[in-house]
Amino acid sequence: MSPILDASACHNLLRSFLAEDIGSGDITTETTVSVLQRASGRVIAKAPLVLAGIEIFIEVFHLLDLTTMAAVYSMDGEEIMPGKVPVCVSASARTLLTGERVALNLLQRLSGVATLTRQFVRAIEGTAAEILDTRKTTPGLRALEKYAVRVGGGKNHRKDLGEAILIKENHIRLAGGVSAALEAAQAAKGRVAWTEIEVTNLDELHAALPHNPDVIMLDNMNPSLARQAVGEVGKHAAPRKIRTEASGGITLANVREFAEAGVDWISVGALTHSAPAVDLSFEIEPLG
């Protein structure tokens, strides 16, 4: 299928989306359009965007009609301008009408995530920092949205709760403090990709450093305080580099300040929870 999901998982996901939208049947299409009618549909960009999800778009129609054919003119990751046609599909007219909303919703959503991610990546060009997503994704769409982040040039943070240890404010409070939480986390260290802890001030940072976590998240710090924190981490003697991550309150207006403060990662929840869907239309014409 594609680097997004394996074929089986992708098909199951798309079938569930189609079932939700179709319900007991597309009564409008079934009563107004002949089962013999063939048609062609073209996607048209209405605004500048970064394309993401073109294979998913086509697969929606293919699941409804195995005779679906597609002509792809733009690939995921490509920046396209208004008026550009990235893809045309031909199938039974009923297929195009029934699958239109699910296919277009996904293409607009994923392209929106990729477009916003590209803006953040561009904003920090020339620095050593990387833009990361978060788990603030739409339930059911995480794999697709995280794929769109990669298409936009960003990197993925944890895919789920089992991939890494990320000790946040509530964990710290319930565990009894920064040191207690990091000591307890040692028991699972060999089972995860990395261990990370969130700190909100320099006192918490100094409490975390002796435990040598892989990553320290600088939560809701301003760029000036983040720069101080990066300096403190740099002074600490550790067996390996401790990465720093800025998180919370990151916008396009201030993201470069955080990058220039010297952090390694900048995680931005807005990439997936606030990215606006891009403006695309789908025009269908009869064939024959």
**Which of the following is catalytic: 42, 84, 135, 168?**
168
160 catalytic? Reply is: no
The answer to whether 241 is a known catalytic residue is no
Angle CA 156–159–163, to nearest 5: 115
Q: How many CA atoms lie within 13 A of 260 on its CB side?
A: 10
CB atoms within 10 A of CB 170: 9
Query: Does the annotation count 279 as an active-site position?
Result: no
Non-local (6+) Cβ contacts of 156 within 8 A are 132, 133, 146, 149, 150
Give the active site residue among 38, 136, 142, 243: 136
Catalytic residue of the set 26, 198, 245, 264: 198
Residue of 38, 42, 84, 101 with catalytic role: 101
Is 283 catalytic? The answer is no
Among 189, 195, 204, 120, smallest CA distance to 154 is for 120
Catalytic residue among 26, 219, 245, 264: 219
Report whether 113 contacts 147 (CB < 8 A).
Answer: no
Instruction: Report phi then psi at 237, rounded to 5.
Output: -80, 120
Q: Rounded to an integer, what distance in angstroms lies between the CA atom of residue 171 and that of residue 231?
A: 26
User: How far is CA 200 from each of CA 91, 151, 152, 219, 256, rounded to the nearest angstrom?
Assistant: 55, 31, 29, 5, 20
Are 280 and 112 spatial neighbours (Cβ–Cβ below 8 Å)? no
Is-catalytic flag, 168? yes
Residues with a catalytic annotation lie at 101, 136, 168, 198, 219
